[in-house]
Structure 1
């Protein structure tokens, strides 16, 4: 089955659910093995985020936690090749081995949706939703219209009836045996409501992707182009360049403009300024948006990352983050380095697009700029050494609120909690 076939199923829910019910009898005759884990991410197309780092950690340490097999499933042939080169166990999502391990595994771990995995073979198991970032913008139930919430409640009643008739059937996330990861009590309150998961099924543990900030040998997590990219960044730092990372989020109803403009002369002016002030600029645009980075031609000091690139191995080398409403700003709090917020369309985004979960000013500890001239003014101050960082204490306070230090390192705690669930779940 190819990507086109999958998309067709996603737009025909009745057929989708019928096929899931059709596979249910297989789960009644094939026994589960509590030492087999199946993990996926980003609709099977990316090796990234919390799923990636938990998978790598468990693959390296599976004997320590008494797991026999840690399986990654994907639709991407490149990912299969890269993981096989590291001697990790990986299968195409529709291969016979993938289906077999789906049927044998009692737990399914993912970070975007159940379609990160082969959703037709998830029965009789635990669903563990890692999610992919503490939100500034509205998510889940907070982003739903009243009409959609009403429809959703109706669907849930139908699903609950099916779950009573067919114990262990899995056609949705949120039923019996669904768990959610949160990094603190504060995050737990927010995420459990957003995804309609009871608090007693929230696992408190740090995000696996954030463990890399404290790794003494982070290269054990590197894969594919990570080595080349990080070497390129280190070479620039060794030459005295400060590394700026620009990572705007996507808009639901509008394109994302490059630093708020489509004026190529303004962009060229910014590029010249950065080069003269020993700044290197890395950009990455959300996979769901258009690739605005194409307007900035790649060279030795300015380059745009592919939308599928996982950035968490790169973040420790970044000196300054520029973003608007992306959750990456919360991850960058771990480093307590300057964050410049560039919300060029703040009123539009707040009132007409996704909107915010929290007060924007309170949850964005950094200077705000709304055009390129305001941005270059701050960067000039940093270059001259006269920039006063007034937000260091605010960043630290917010970081500890969202990411409770006692739940880190997250991968270890999460692995331990997974073992507890597998021992008690029936």
Structure 2
């Protein structure tokens, strides 16, 4: 019933917004990605810095039933509607550019184990109806996305993603991260960032209970003091970036350990930054089933994969690629002891990282944002003919 009412709300708002005259110099970004590798937010920053002749509106959070009609009129006025999640536009004269928010590893849409066929095909029809251009990085990306959304090949354009510009040009330095998050200065410092996927999808209250108790790694032998001591000895500093829902479970985000610090959206907002604008300043990544690792391959730095809930995740939602240990270019660990060992071990996965980078990113550019802008302008000119 709730979903039905929200769809009805969207229809009514679209009807009202469609009466607004389109402005060729206005674009709206419907950002559902927050500050965690948000293509929409980062493209807006690029546009405001490089193309002030355009009126740029960022709508967030999206979707929302709490938007003013003034905002809806801005959506209706935009010639270009750029989205980070499901494609959307008010009427046919608009151009929808689909950024999406990551190279998919987890199953979604018509491929997911935990969705209904009716909802899946409704969403697939939205992709068919509303999407005009889909930003892409590789043939593999297009295959994975179409498997889940059924969007046709002609709509893909290999122009890369705004988040990759931010990844290669961090605005928050390593020294600043050490000072801001750890109150440390250390010439030997190695910054490790932990970015798991949204584990609420496991539908396992035990996992949420572990996080609430402070076991942010959800490992069976978790001991924060021992972990911190190992990090300290090896000059390693662990940044923990959880989903906002999981952060809310922990409550006290002030780490009591010298080499462990939680990163929340407040820090990013204070610095007017996206997560990817500091990710390039880290030295290694720990993740599980998050697609962030595909982007991190561009940095050619070590990645460690926590797999103690792999079987459960494969059953609950499913993965698009497998076997998992053949897909991921890094050590797979199931315990804290294995994690500590992997953090101290020499890197031996560079060849595998290069292999997967070549498969997932065939686009190399000095500015992905500029390439996307040029594509947008080209499409706008074609529409005038």
Q: Please tell me the TM-score bracket, short chain as reference.
A: 0.7 to 0.9
Of 363, 366, 380 in structure 2, the residue corresponding to residue 422 of structure 1 is 380
Stretches of structure 2 lacking an aligned partner (at least 5 in a row): 211-215, 269-273
TM alignment of 1:48-67, pairs within 5 A: 49-62=38-51, 67=53
Native 8 Å contact 2:113 2:318 kept in 1: no
RMSD (CA atoms): 3.4
Asked if 1:103 is matched to 2:51, the reply is no
TM alignment of 1:228-377, pairs within 5 A: 229=177, 232=180, 236=184, 238-251=186-199, 252=201, 253-254=203-204, 255=207, 258-261=216-219, 266-289=223-246, 291=248, 297-299=254-256, 300-306=258-264, 309=268, 310-350=274-314, 352-359=315-322, 360-377=324-341
Native 8 Å contact 1:19 1:120 kept in 2: no
Of 346, 349, 363 in structure 2, the residue corresponding to residue 405 of structure 1 is 363
Native 8 Å contact 2:182 2:259 kept in 1: no
Moved more, 134-143 or 299-308: 299-308
1:177-221 deviation digits (Å, cap 9, x = unpaired): 543222112211211232221111122211111112333xx43xx
Native 8 Å contact 2:35 2:265 kept in 1: no
> Are the structure 2 counterparts of residues 22 and 368 from structure 1 closer, same or farther at C-alpha, using a change threshold of 3 Å?
closer
Counterpart for residue 29 of structure 2 = 39
- 2-structure distance, mates of 1:248, 1:232: 22
1:119-168 deviation digits (Å, cap 9, x = unpaired): 795664222221111122212221156x8225644x479x7xxxxxxxxx
Counterpart for residue 128 of structure 2 = 174
Stretches of structure 1 lacking an aligned partner (at least 5 in a row): 1-9, 77-91, 160-171, 382-386
Native 8 Å contact 1:108 1:126 kept in 2: yes
Native 8 Å contact 1:285 1:307 kept in 2: no
- 1-structure distance, mates of 2:133, 2:252: 42
Counterpart for residue 70 of structure 1 = 56
- 2-structure distance, mates of 1:240, 1:182: 38
- 2-structure distance, mates of 1:58, 1:260: 40
Counterpart for residue 192 of structure 1 = 146
> Are the structure 2 counterparts of residues 277 and 19 from structure 1 closer, same or farther at C-alpha, using a change threshold of 3 Å?
closer
TM-score by length of 2: 0.81
Aligned pair count reads: 363
> Are the structure 2 counterparts of residues 424 and 71 from structure 1 closer, same or farther at C-alpha, using a change threshold of 3 Å?
same
Aligned-residue offset at 1:331: 1.3
Native 8 Å contact 2:40 2:82 kept in 1: yes
Aligned-residue offset at 1:343: 0.9
Counterpart for residue 271 of structure 2 = none
Native 8 Å contact 2:17 2:75 kept in 1: no
Counterpart for residue 143 of structure 1 = 112
Native 8 Å contact 1:284 1:293 kept in 2: no
Counterpart for residue 391 of structure 1 = 349
Asked if 1:210 is matched to 2:210, the reply is no
> Are the structure 2 counterparts of residues 335 and 406 from structure 1 closer, same or farther at C-alpha, using a change threshold of 3 Å?
closer
Native 8 Å contact 1:286 1:307 kept in 2: no
Aligned-residue offset at 1:361: 2.1
Counterpart for residue 84 of structure 1 = none
> Are the structure 2 counterparts of residues 120 and 404 from structure 1 closer, same or farther at C-alpha, using a change threshold of 3 Å?
closer
> Are the structure 2 counterparts of residues 144 and 327 from structure 1 closer, same or farther at C-alpha, using a change threshold of 3 Å?
same
Aligned-residue offset at 1:417: 0.8
> Are the structure 2 counterparts of residues 227 and 35 from structure 1 closer, same or farther at C-alpha, using a change threshold of 3 Å?
farther
